[in-house]
Structure 1
Amino acid sequence: MFALSGFSVAQAETPSSSGSGFAITSDGWILTNAHVVKDCRRIEVPGQGVASVPRLDAANDLALIKVDAARPLAPLQLRRAPIRLGEDIIAIGYPLSGLLSDSIKITTGNVNALAGLQNDTRFLQISTPIQPGNSGGPVVDRDGFLLGITTATFSKKVADEIGITAQNVNFAIRASVADMFLQAQSVSVRFGERAPEQAALSTADLADKIAPSVFQILCYGGAEGQPSAAASSPQPAGAGLIERTGYDAIGFDYQLIREISYADCRASCVGDSRCQAITYNVKHKACFLKNNVMALIHNTDAQAAYSAAKAASVIVSDFTSYSGIDMPGGDYGRLNQTTYLDCFVACLGDNACRAFAYIAKKKECWLKERLGSAEPKKGVDLGVK
């Protein structure tokens, strides 16, 4: 083996990390985790080519990428029926790429809990074994309908902190949360349910049915590392403020400043003795100054900062906020002449409440005891536990 003088030998580029994803529409949209594709210089889907710049929901660890498929993809359908504790599930993906074989892998297990860490109802706890590379892959029921998206495992770091070696504790983001993200991105999905006479599929038949919809996702030039189930920690923002990206601070607004940068929004709060917190809407470049703060709620379009003096009393809630989206059905309580804050607090303190819809124009709050299918609805703010 030798090289000619004056010529260099080209080396194939190696991906910095990899994950899994699956078709959600026939025209090329693929759903995966945000941490799989975030900060990638290039995203490649083997067999499908280079993917588009991802659309991210960092707060819920979801992402959409688009490929120019030569043939229609086989999208998975979301299940309409509620998820049951203990039901059989299957996870599919491409774990440990470069160590194990390059082929798709399938693992079986059960739904261990209907919530994740600290009762976060956006997640399911599952017993299907999860390895690096499984992230973003689908979790389906025995009929092949989507229940969730593999997102995290109980990390060694967390185990070391609490002094317990937890075995096979893994998490998947609920398909209903993904549905709301897809609705916000104007991507339509299909739902399905088992016919009464239909028998559950064997594991082998399920693998044949689902595997064509699942893809490996390669990240080039991104940050190394694997996901953890540990929650992100608040970061000091300077001048006595604590900063949280992907959150909205719930409190009493006393001033709105439009067409302003986040840095200027934060500076406005620091220079105002009344200001206890801010919410900055990234999409609309809008700054909300607040003279009180009670809780933080997930919002992918927002960035929050609040006074360090309030740190002990601020609730970092499990809610996720969506604007212009409703979830019809499940209403059991109605509050009239109320504010968004009143609506949030009412649902927060009610164990039966799974979500709320607030209609600002009518000052109406609807409390919901179950989660339905999300749909676009102008003028409605949806909060989901």
Structure 2
Amino acid sequence: MKISARIVVAGILAVAVVMDAVAEEPKSSGTGFAVTADGWLMTNAHVVDGCDRVEVKGRGVATDPRIDAANDLALIKVNADTPMVPLTFRRAPIRLGEDIVAIGYPLADLLADSVKITTGNVNALAGLKNDTRYIQISTPIQPGNSGGPVVDRDGFLLGITSATFSKQAADQIGITAQNVNFAIRASVADLFMQSQNLASQSGDRQEGQPTFSTADLADKVTPSVHQVLCYGKPDVEGSSQRQETVTSLPRSSVSVTLLDAHGYDAIGFDYATLKDVTFQDCRAACESDGQCKAVTYNARHRFCFLKNDVVALIRNADAIAAYSASKAADVIMSDFTSYSGMDIPGGDYKRIRQTNYLECFVACVGDNACRAFAYVSKKKECWLKNALGRPRTAKGVDLGVK
């Protein structure tokens, strides 16, 4: 068995050990956090998978589960007579080594059943086998943490706790891998919310704003975090076998051909353009074409661009992207925003000739000084910018801003 199949999903071990108890016990538990004020919470798909009933402690039974099995995410809805406190998704890119805090309900049937926090750092900007949907983190993760938020020192959401490196994998390779844990990027969760027509709150820290102490951060974030309980028939043969059945990371989905990303442009190689079509027509054309791996649909002009590859998603308010689920592990969730027919005068420090939009985008991504790029399609020129001025209309120019 490959090592990647030995990654233990954190949070599956909270199995009731008293089988003859009179009161019904949850067969497992995890963590969720509010993403809207009207009752939507996010957690991991594996937290609610296979449950006869899901409850959010203190909020009652959860309904209308929305599952993204490919990215191990789930949305659940609870009664919000009292408005919930949604977490704010951070817009700024994640930085290697930055301080983070994980919040959740680990080992709630063994330790205190209250919310707990752990501190750590971002160890790597990708997960197993360079999976860019994930970050590697050093915050200690225990069973019950699954689905909990990982926040920065300002309380902004960076990721969702998902998995930890298992003892079985360590035994197989003969190395004790200490404190190797993974979280799904908040940008992936944001895309999932958009696909369900739910709007997240996003923001960034203000200039000069002091960071929170760990205690103050706990006061700020914990009201948004809730324990998620899974009820159903207990696993008679024991929790170890339960672990073996749900250890794959990431989990694949065979039911979805294309994954939609509203408000995004898929960056790849265009090989065909369809005019005056609907998004459904655009999507269907890709699904019926063996070489198509992604599309970008421009809603304003009703144009559809078929692509035989996709490397990244870039924000574009006028666009809808769809990409093959088989490419999900390779797609970069970019923090760029794209604007057509716009430019930012000044700040140009590098010109790249005889290039294309994809190469221009990649050049800016790989240059720490680059804050924006302008691509002039007619001249096949790319301009990298290290300063942002006032945008202006510029026909034939595609602008990308970090």
Report the TM-score range of the alignment, normalised by the length of the smaller protein.
Answer: 0.5 to 0.7
Report the CA distance shift for 1:246/1:109 in structure 2 as closer, same or farther (over 3 A): farther
Letter in 2 for 1:182: M
* Residue of structure 1 equivalent to 2:177: 166
- Could you tell me whether the CA contact under 8 Å between 2:125 and 2:132 is conserved in 1? yes
Q: CA deviation at 1:317?
A: 4.8
1:319 aligned to which of 321, 331, 336? 331
Cα distance between partner residues in 2 of 1:211 and 1:174: 20
Q: CA deviation at 1:210?
A: 0.8
Report whether the alignment pairs 1:146 with 2:146. no
Cα distance between partner residues in 2 of 1:209 and 1:91: 13
Letter in 2 for 1:62: L
2:109 aligned to which of 98, 103, 106? 98
2:338 aligned to which of 329, 346, 349? 329
Report whether the alignment pairs 1:60 with 2:58. no
Report the CA distance shift for 1:287/1:318 in structure 2 as closer, same or farther (over 3 A): closer
Letter in 1 for 2:91: R
Q: What does 1:68-147 align with in structure 2 at a 5 Å threshold?
A: 68-147=79-158
Q: CA deviation at 1:121?
A: 1.1
Cα distance between partner residues in 2 of 1:206 and 1:103: 16
Cα distance between partner residues in 1 of 2:121 and 2:87: 20
TM-score relative to the length of structure 1 = 0.63
- Could you tell me whether the CA contact under 8 Å between 1:97 and 1:133 is conserved in 2? yes
Report the CA distance shift for 1:143/1:231 in structure 2 as closer, same or farther (over 3 A): closer
* Residue of structure 1 equivalent to 2:220: 209
- Could you tell me whether the CA contact under 8 Å between 2:310 and 2:323 is conserved in 1? no
Report the CA distance shift for 1:40/1:288 in structure 2 as closer, same or farther (over 3 A): farther
Report the CA distance shift for 1:99/1:247 in structure 2 as closer, same or farther (over 3 A): farther
Larger deviation, residues 135-144 vs 186-195 = 186-195
- Could you tell me whether the CA contact under 8 Å between 1:92 and 1:104 is conserved in 2? yes
Q: CA deviation at 1:17?
A: 0.8
Q: CA deviation at 1:193?
A: 2.0
Letter in 1 for 2:77: K
Q: What does 1:201-280 align with in structure 2 at a 5 Å threshold?
A: 201-221=212-232, 225=242, 228=247, 230-231=249-250
- Could you tell me whether the CA contact under 8 Å between 1:247 and 1:296 is conserved in 2? no
Report the CA distance shift for 1:352/1:183 in structure 2 as closer, same or farther (over 3 A): same
Cα distance between partner residues in 2 of 1:105 and 1:132: 12
Counting aligned pairs with the same residue, the percent is: 57
Larger deviation, residues 78-87 vs 154-163 = 154-163
Cα distance between partner residues in 1 of 2:53 and 2:206: 42
SS at match of 1:318: coil
Q: CA deviation at 1:79?
A: 1.1
Aligned residues: 296
* Residue of structure 2 equivalent to 1:183: 194
How big is each residue's C-alpha offset from its partner over 1:14-69, in whole Å with a ceiling of 9 and x where there is no partner? 11111000001111000111111122111000100000131011111111000012
Letter in 2 for 1:16: K
Report whether the alignment pairs 1:37 with 2:37. no
How big is each residue's C-alpha offset from its partner over 1:81-114, in whole Å with a ceiling of 9 and x where there is no partner? 2211111100000011211111111000001111
Report the CA distance shift for 1:172/1:163 in structure 2 as closer, same or farther (over 3 A): same
Cα distance between partner residues in 1 of 2:45 and 2:322: 12
Ranges in structure 2 where 5+ consecutive residues have no aligned partner? 1-19, 260-267, 269-282, 294-307, 313-320, 341-349, 367-381, 385-402
Report the CA distance shift for 1:186/1:244 in structure 2 as closer, same or farther (over 3 A): closer
2:37 aligned to which of 15, 26, 40? 26
TM-score relative to the length of structure 2 = 0.61
Cα distance between partner residues in 2 of 1:74 and 1:143: 16
Q: CA deviation at 1:144?
A: 0.7
Letter in 1 for 2:76: I
Q: CA deviation at 1:118?
A: 0.8
Ranges in structure 1 where 5+ consecutive residues have no aligned partner? 1-8, 234-242, 251-282, 305-314, 355-366, 370-385
Cα distance between partner residues in 2 of 1:137 and 1:182: 16
- Could you tell me whether the CA contact under 8 Å between 2:33 and 2:225 is conserved in 1? yes
Report the CA distance shift for 1:292/1:82 in structure 2 as closer, same or farther (over 3 A): closer
Letter in 1 for 2:158: L
